[in-house]
Amino acid sequence: METARKKVGVDLTEGNILRQLLTFVLPLLLANVIQQLYNTVDMIVIGRFVGSAGTAGVSNGGEIATLVTFMASAFGSAGQIYVAQLSGAKDHKSISETLSTGMVFVTALALAVMAVCIIFCDPLLTWLRCPPEAFSQARDYMIVVSLGLPFVFGYSMVCGILRGMGEAKRPLLFVSVAAVSNLIMDVLLVAVFRLEAAGTAIATIVAQFASFLAAAIFLYRRKEQFGITFTKGSLRINKHHFAVLMRLGIPLTAQSALIHFTQIICTREINAYGIVASTTNSIGNKIQKFLEVFIQGLDTAGASMIGQNLGAKKHDRAAEVVWKALLSTTVVAIITSAMCVLCPNFLFGLFTDDPEVLALGKIYLRIIVIHIFSSSFIGAFQAMVTGCGFVELGFAIGILDGVVCKIGFGKLFGEVFHMGAIGYFWGISTSRILPGLLCFAYFMSGKWRTRK
């Protein structure tokens, strides 16, 4: 049994750090690229076949769903943090119990959240100041996408635990299944059957179901290696592991929710400036996320490596992971920033041919270069915060990033300095500078060496 279990996951406590980091991050990078690609395909297809109203509708309708998705990702990250340290300590029994506990919990949570999103759809979109011409598209999209939330939560938990064990190839396979499904359904439902935003939403939940099904099949086939029998009563909550997941997951959820909720508030304020500003922000946000996928992948990979090494009491090796991650993210930030400055019309032109949106998009991409570099800096040091399980600091970072910086700077530039929507672009772009310095200060303090 012990030999079989070692086939799932990779020991990240031995070997060349940079090579191991890049090897581990490659599947995560490809998974993030594919994830962003199939989300981006939604925007491209809807923009080309429905227009700006469809683009703004999908973006606004997806804002609330994305906020909830971050909750799923947060509990998946909680599983990743916990399992990484359990994996470093070779505690396989606790890993299987954590998987069982996590799956039962997130299933119940997903059903409750799904009901809330559907019931309060209209009030939420009204509060968001969704442009009137895009409201019906946004409503259709939000309701349909909410139906797929149980698949999102289940997928996030399984993949989080696999990443904690050093396994990155399977999540790549799962998200590849989703991408292919989404692309086929998008073209079929939007371009052929003209279902507009509802068609994009249906394509999305089909893709989510496909990735969850792939993950579930893998889990079932490897059930002996996880110590799970899938008999009546085998999937149950272990009180100890549930308490740990809550202690990690609730602050992580609050952190993610704060960051994204403040993004929603900024979107709400930008929407007030009209359909051009709303569409530019929607497209720009997709481009920004796509350009930062490598940084996000390194953050995830670094956290798993750090978690395993801290669990194995290899503190110096954990610190070296951070510096190697910073080197890698900086190189990527230089390349992606050059793309924003040199070819903004090409990037925005993939989504729209509206000349007003293209003109404002050029300004957006040049401003967002600041965000790219600050994300590359915070990504490396936040990997240590995540890997050592200091979720309370992560929560403080969420407040600083979202409430203090993103909203504060956005209102300062947009309303005090009368820069309008462009001011909010500046606020979003500069929001990660102070949180990055906070993560750096914690890393340099060395206090992460004594955390359990």
Q: What is the DSSP letter of 160?
A: H
Q: Region 107-128: what's the mean pLDDT?
A: 91
pLDDT > 50? residue 387: yes
pLDDT > 90? residue 176: no
Helices (H), 272-404: 275-291, 293-311, 315-342, 344-349, 355-367, 369-387, 391-398
pLDDT digits (tens, 9 = 90+) for 71-81: 888 888 888 88
Cα–Cα–Cα angle for 446, 451, 452, rounded to 5 degrees:
155
State which of 32-36, 182-186, 198-202, 356-360 shows the largest mean pLDDT.
356-360
pLDDT > 60? residue 8: no
More confident of the two residues 369 and 161 = 369
From the list 229, 254, 298, the residue with the least C-alpha distance to 78 is 254
The encoded tokens of residue 382 equal 């936040």
The pLDDT mean for the chain works out to 84
- Report the distance separating Cα 225 and Cα 232, nearest Å: 19
Kindly indicate the confidence band of residue 198, based on its pLDDT and cuts at 50, 70 and 90.
confident
pLDDT > 70? residue 249: yes
Per-residue model confidence (pLDDT) at position 319: 93
Per-residue model confidence (pLDDT) at position 230: 61
pLDDT > 70? residue 424: yes
pLDDT > 50? residue 159: yes
Kindly indicate the confidence band of residue 3, based on its pLDDT and cuts at 50, 70 and 90.
very low
Per-residue model confidence (pLDDT) at position 10: 67
Indicate the range of 1-15, 293-307, 384-398, 402-416 predicted with least confidence. Answer: 1-15
pLDDT > 90? residue 58: no
Per-residue model confidence (pLDDT) at position 228: 60
Instruction: Name the percent of the chain lying above pLDDT 70.
Output: 95
pLDDT > 60? residue 6: no
pLDDT > 60? residue 339: yes
Per-residue model confidence (pLDDT) at position 367: 95
Q: Quick one: residue 90, left, alpha or beta (phi over 0 = left, psi -120 to 50 = alpha)?
A: left
Per-residue model confidence (pLDDT) at position 322: 93
Per-residue model confidence (pLDDT) at position 235: 73
pLDDT digits (tens, 9 = 90+) for 352-386: 888 999 999 999 999 999 999 999 999 889 989 98
pLDDT > 80? residue 13: no
Indicate the range of 181-185, 244-248, 330-334, 373-377 predicted with least confidence. Answer: 181-185
The encoded tokens of residue 176 equal 């590849």
Q: Region 178-203: what's the mean pLDDT?
A: 85
Residues with Cβ < 8 Å from 76, sequence gap 6 or more? 156, 157, 159, 160, 161
pLDDT digits (tens, 9 = 90+) for 253-275: 877 777 777 878 888 899 889 88
pLDDT > 50? residue 35: yes
- Report the distance separating Cα 380 and Cα 296, nearest Å: 9
SS3 state of residue 133: helix
Per-residue model confidence (pLDDT) at position 231: 63
Cα–Cα–Cα angle for 85, 432, 79, rounded to 5 degrees:
20
Per-residue model confidence (pLDDT) at position 343: 92
Q: How far is CA 324 from the centre of its chain?
A: 22
Burial environment of residue 123 by CB neighbours within 10 A (0 to 12, 13 to 18, 19 or more):
exposed
